[in-house]
Structure 1
């Protein structure tokens, strides 16, 4: 794919999803929205050049999640100040609740062997080697089940 074709692909992607991404980020991040969106598009550009984007929304959200994690790591831990509130005191984000319910439904309907690996990887944050040892299965089986679990999630989201 040539540079002009890749740039055109990124332009089409931006034109199609920029409004959606900005609205989605504004609900979660408020004032940081524009910076996060801009950085997300910069990080998405190489994928566009290689023609590797199958699920643009998922890719953009994953990039933003990684950006937020990176920022939090750079800031390091901080203690609560007098004016700070705990997360439970903040207004509930309805869209996030709906996303969490959808994810929970998808995971709960997943075949048990796939579900087990998916939960240990995505929620318990275990490495494939650790999952392999815990479940007493080869790492290649963990990898295969994770691929199948992600395919299952993608198929459920397309319904």
Structure 2
């Protein structure tokens, strides 16, 4: 049967005649009525879009049941794939909510230590350090903005990093740099 003669009225008849039955078919597979309704609706939308090209070799009902079953099985496979991917990610990441909380506390403590250490820098040294690390200005831009030589900027930056390394000797330098960027937030 070629579907050239499927009008909106005939389509509505198919919908009203088979909708509940197709929902029952789908809900038996997916176990969720809302998902089943969505899948049946998806079938009808696809059917309407392709109505000119679909050639039924059997009844509409048998075609629709087969299509809804296929959509339901595809949905289940996708859900299973997503679930196994999530489990795999949790295993790979070693997800531990307590570790995340501890890590957050550690980051906050480090951030506080870095802020305290930066506050101890001499005024001019601190200003140059902040211009470079927080405002992302180059040494040349800092020198130009403050009417000082690039060598003065370099010297102040060396002094700042040396001071911070001493103050934060128990912290790695990479954490220091990360924390410097955190100060901008």
Which category describes the TM-score, using the shorter chain as reference length? 0.3 to 0.5
TM-score (norm: length of structure 1): 0.42
- Higher relative contact order, structure no. (Cα contacts within 8 Å, ≥ 6 residues apart): 2
Larger Rg: 1 or 2? 2
